[in-house]
Amino acid sequence: MDSVYNDIMDSLNELLDAAQGKETGIVVHPRTVKEVDSFSPQQIKKVRVDAHMTQKTFAACIGVSAKSVEAWEGGRSRPDGAARRILGLMRDHPNFAENMGIYT
């Protein structure tokens, strides 16, 4: 346990040094994060159908209620940022949930 504590403390001290502008040897590689897409009701349904899931199963995979998926597909509400990010992953990779072990 002491080893884990020491590793954490070393890392925190290294970050503190970097924040204070001290030379640490840390190399930062800037990354661009893709914007979160918006989805129409028809697009949401297509993602679900392409994944071969019922609304109930799709909702369970995303971590929302079946009523939420029903409302999204009916245009009565819209998914939030986290759900939209998952929708984008499932759109781009229809077997995403299965490959991640979420759905078998």
d(CA 26, CA 19) in angstroms, rounded, equals 11
Class of domain 41-99: mainly alpha
Count CA within 13 A, CB hemisphere, residue 9. 6
Q: What is the pLDDT of residues 46-74, one digit of tens each?
A: 999 999 999 999 999 999 999 999 999 99
pLDDT, mean of residues 9-35: 82
Query: Model pTM?
Result: 0.70
Residue 30's pLDDT is 83
Longest dimension (CA), the chain: 55
d(CA 12, CA 91) in angstroms, rounded, equals 38
d(CA 57, CA 21) in angstroms, rounded, equals 50
d(CA 69, CA 42) in angstroms, rounded, equals 12
